[in-house]
Chain A
Amino acid sequence: MSEKIVSSSPHIRSNVTTAKIMTDVVLALIPALIAATFYFGFRALYLTVISVAFCVLFEYLWQKALKKPLNVGDGTAVVTGVLLALNVPVTAPWWMLAVGALVAIIIIKQFFGGTGNNFMNPAMGARAFLLASWPVQMTLWSKPFTTGFTVDADIVSSATPLALMKTGEIASLPALSDVFWGNIAGCMGEVCVPALLIGFIYLLIKKVITPTIPLFYVGTVAVLSFIFKVDGMTGIDCALYSICSGGLLLGAIFMATDYTTSPIYFKGQIIMGIGCGAITFLIRRLGGYPEGVTYAILLMNIATPLIDKYVRPKKFGYVAQKGGAKNA
């Protein structure tokens, strides 16, 4: 009898793989990418390609240099690349994305052990890094349909809805329908609500994510914005503008749900969602910065190990019988 494979049970596995999950995430981001290209021109696509290329390149070089097993094929670097690009304004120079990719892949991800070990979302962390390093370029918002493949020196810059709400210029706010469809200034991937929702539904259908974190995140921001509304706006308007702009949906659907940096159990995920929502709201309303999604998610990323330590599922067989835990 020929050689047999001998292994520990179970002998059958589901057909879900890391690569399939990452492919689904990329597919779910495609509507947002199409919307970005529609509103901000081909430059959006170009920057995304740059970002993905550098992310994959850095991951490959790192693994090659350290003689680690190559797993670029699992697609995690591609997801990081797309997310990073969607989180910068279309006016950003290409080299900024290369720097962002370096920070995301090498410093945030590989320094801490690679896939599954990073302590914060690589794309989000890289965005925070870029924002701190080049605050002007990172907040130079162009009006939709004013950029093509290149950015002219005299682009029409525009304020984001949240910035207007912050400064009290309620009268200059774009119409809610424009905010919904994405005809506003903002980061490439954050503006078009329907595109993000299509991605959300796709991820839910494919069971890549559960709705827990996005719903609690967005819900918390909506409720707080409704209660503590901005002067001159109705509560409902304030809530709707808050949801549809400032990268909340992009962050809640694609970044806060990152497996590695969010709690593993659904009760912990509720805490993650509410925490992100509360911090986002506090930064937006009380901080010096109109948006708050980036830092909210990063702060909750750091809190994740602690949440996982204390919020665990109820174990089977521990009902009102403490003695049972002794495992006699």
Chain B
Amino acid sequence: MGLLTFKRGIHPDDCKKLTAELPIKELKPGKTMCYPLNQHLGAPLSSLVSVGDEVLMGQKIADSEGFLTAPLHSSVSGKVVEIGMRMHHSGVKVPTIVIENDGLDTPAEKINTKSLDELSPKEIVQIVHDAGIVGMGGAGFPTHVKLSPPADKEIKYVIVNGAECEPYLTSDHRVMLEEPDDVLFGLTAVMKIFSLKEGFVAVEENKPDAISALEEKAKNYDGCKVLTLKKKYPQGAEKQLIYAVTKKEVPSGKLPADIGCIVLNIDTITAIARAIKEGTPLYRRIVTVSGGAVNNPQNFKVRIGMCFDDLIEEAGGFKEEPAKIIYGGPMMGISGISTSVPVVKGTSAFLAFTKKEAKKEAESACLRCGRCVSVCPMGLMPAELSVMSLKGEIESVIRYNALDCIECGSCSFVCPAKRYLVQAIRVGKDRQRAHLAEMRAKKQ
């Protein structure tokens, strides 16, 4: 059987050697823990605690009435010392709850005490909600919403995304290798929600040890199958992964559920497993700390709310002053301005680039070489689309389908003129959204 994959895409140097062989190291939480209230997509949270309150580890500290939202829990026991505006990794200040850790880890009441066999599908989704689980690959889509598709959508495929196609990142790799049982248990639980006989863990071929670890354990879990994907970026993009596994395309503007698919990140699926098995909400995650400027790149198991400064210190500090710091992978992550920011549910990595790695090349004229077209996994024409976007020619932006762009960055990566194609297309997407909103307003 040929390896599963999608059309086009790129082959960047994966730079995973730095951390792929290193076991996950668990870090002790710091003295002061910060919990920004915008951990996910959707409705913002409001704090349930006040300054001076004592909180327990796993206690819900913020929630919202909305549907597209997920509660937030304290990852330590201690005292709320501040609720105010604090720096977030995106470089802006956001409302944040600050808790002083008492170091005792006094646990709160468990969110689940039943075993998986005793749980009904509805209860499983409720546990996922109560545990505050969101997509942990970066976007932060509340997972319980994903697991509650409209009644008319029949879910046929549940796919755990073990592609980890972003260079440098190895956190998912290590989890699959070290906690394969949690991955498969979580998958089994999600299969139970939709009464499925089959579920998939899809892993890129560059992680053979993880594949064999999962395959070995999969014998104990009925219906769990491990699939090998071709190593190609963006293999882990939701639509591309679904195509690789099912050969179906998610229609433009629709969700995976519309074609009967649900894709879950590795760290998300293990969070589901822990919520059911141990009754603990989501308060830990795996973070890869890597990049040329870091002394000892590593994979850390950390509590959400920890300061990145502590992670960097654990990684031996910087070899040289980094020229660029990135939260997330190098292809889609956000470049930041400060390392004194907390770990949130969606930060899968911290990268510190040396001057050489971060070199910013000047943009030059587009040659129309067509490299961007030949790699775009969405079949768009980035060169033309970016020009239209910057010019603001809204008809052309719509005709070239700006909103279909998944911002994977493949076009910018291959561009010999070093053009900021994705950046320009983002402008086009915003313009198209504004235009559509205007049209809707006019209609009413």
Q: Give chain A's interface residues, CB within 8 Å of chain B.
A: 1-2, 4-14, 16-18, 20-21, 71, 74, 114-117, 259-260, 263-266, 308, 312-319, 321, 323-328
| Residues A116 and B330 in contact, CB atoms below 8 Å apart | no
Max count, chain B CB within 10 A of own CB: residue among A265, A315, A321: A315
| Residues B380 and A16 in contact, CB atoms below 8 Å apart | no
**How distant is the Cα of A16 from the Cα of B370 in the complex, in angstroms?**
13
**How distant is the Cα of A265 from the Cα of B422 in the complex, in angstroms?**
19
Q: Which residues of A contact B383 (CB under 8 A)?
A: 264
Question: Does B107 lie at the interface of the complex (its beta carbon under 8 Å from any beta carbon of A)?
Answer: no
**How distant is the Cα of A327 from the Cα of B403 in the complex, in angstroms?**
7
A4-B322, A4-B325 known; A315+B380 contact, CB < 8 A = yes
| Residues B376 and A12 in contact, CB atoms below 8 Å apart | no
The contact size tier of chain B is: 35 or more
Q: Identify which of B40-48, B189-197, B358-366 touches chain A.
A: B358-366
Max count, chain A CB within 10 A of own CB: residue among B167, B253, B422: B253
Q: Give chain B's interface residues, CB within 8 Å of chain A.
A: 7, 10, 12, 91, 167, 239, 243, 249-254, 321-326, 330-340, 351, 353, 357-358, 360-361, 364-371, 373-374, 376-381, 383-384, 401, 403-404, 407, 409, 412-418, 420, 422-423, 426, 432, 436
**B333 → A minimal CB distance (Å):** 6
| Residues B337 and A318 in contact, CB atoms below 8 Å apart | no
**A21 → B minimal CB distance (Å):** 6
A4-B335, A9-B334 known; A265+B381 contact, CB < 8 A = yes
**How distant is the Cα of A74 from the Cα of B364 in the complex, in angstroms?**
9
| Residues A313 and B376 in contact, CB atoms below 8 Å apart | yes
- From B249, B366, B370, A319 is in contact (CB under 8 Å) with B249
Would you give 24 A-B contacts (Cβ < 8 Å), ordered by A?
A1-B339, A2-B321, A4-B335, A5-B323, A5-B358, A6-B335, A7-B324, A8-B426, A9-B407, A11-B326, A11-B330, A12-B12, A13-B361, A16-B414, A17-B361, A116-B417, A264-B368, A314-B379, A315-B404, A316-B243, A316-B379, A317-B254, A323-B251, A327-B253
- From B366, B378, B403, A116 is in contact (CB under 8 Å) with B366
**B206 → A minimal CB distance (Å):** 17
| Residues B416 and A265 in contact, CB atoms below 8 Å apart | no
The residue on B at minimum CB distance from A266 is B374
**A270 → B minimal CB distance (Å):** 13
| Residues A21 and B416 in contact, CB atoms below 8 Å apart | yes
**How distant is the Cα of A264 from the Cα of B415 in the complex, in angstroms?**
13
Max count, chain B CB within 10 A of own CB: residue among A1, A21, A323: A1
Q: Which residues of A contact B432 (CB under 8 A)?
A: 327
- From B249, B250, B254, B360, A7 is in contact (CB under 8 Å) with B360
A5-B324, A10-B422, A14-B414 known; A324+B253 contact, CB < 8 A = yes
A116-B365, A313-B373 known; A11+B379 contact, CB < 8 A = no
**How distant is the Cα of A316 from the Cα of B379 in the complex, in angstroms?**
6
Max count, chain B CB within 10 A of own CB: residue among A14, A21, A259: A14
**B180 → A minimal CB distance (Å):** 30
**How distant is the Cα of A300 from the Cα of B169 in the complex, in angstroms?**
46
- From B325, B331, B368, A10 is in contact (CB under 8 Å) with B331
The 5 tightest CB contacts between A and B, nearest first, are: A10-B409, A324-B251, A8-B423, A116-B365, A317-B252
| Residues A12 and B365 in contact, CB atoms below 8 Å apart | no
| Residues B413 and A327 in contact, CB atoms below 8 Å apart | no
**A321 → B minimal CB distance (Å):** 5
Total inter-chain residue pairs, C-beta < 8 Å: 174
The residue on A at minimum CB distance from B380 is A315
The residue on B at minimum CB distance from A320 is B251
The residue on B at minimum CB distance from A1 is B338
Q: Which residues of A contact B365 (CB under 8 A)?
A: 18, 71, 114-117
Q: Which residues of A contact B371 (CB under 8 A)?
A: 16
| Residues B367 and A5 in contact, CB atoms below 8 Å apart | no
| Residues A11 and B381 in contact, CB atoms below 8 Å apart | no
The residue on A at minimum CB distance from B233 is A10
Q: Which residues of B contact A8 (CB under 8 A)?
A: 420, 422-423, 426
- From A1, A4, A312, A314, B324 is in contact (CB under 8 Å) with A4
| Residues B369 and A321 in contact, CB atoms below 8 Å apart | no
**B384 → A minimal CB distance (Å):** 8
- From A20, A259, A328, B370 is in contact (CB under 8 Å) with A259
| Residues A115 and B324 in contact, CB atoms below 8 Å apart | no
- From A16, A20, A116, A328, B253 is in contact (CB under 8 Å) with A328
The residue on A at minimum CB distance from B400 is A312
| Residues A116 and B252 in contact, CB atoms below 8 Å apart | no
**How distant is the Cα of A18 from the Cα of B367 in the complex, in angstroms?**
8
**How distant is the Cα of A325 from the Cα of B414 in the complex, in angstroms?**
27
**How distant is the Cα of A302 from the Cα of B338 in the complex, in angstroms?**
51
- From B10, B250, B415, A317 is in contact (CB under 8 Å) with B250
| Residues B367 and A4 in contact, CB atoms below 8 Å apart | no
**How distant is the Cα of A259 from the Cα of B415 in the complex, in angstroms?**
13
**Told that A116-B417, A327-B436 touch, could you supply 4 new A-B pairs with CB distance under 8 A?**
A6-B324, A9-B333, A315-B379, A317-B254
**B6 → A minimal CB distance (Å):** 8
**How distant is the Cα of A317 from the Cα of B167 in the complex, in angstroms?**
26
**How distant is the Cα of A124 from the Cα of B330 in the complex, in angstroms?**
42
A1-B338, A14-B414, A316-B239 known; A115+B374 contact, CB < 8 A = no
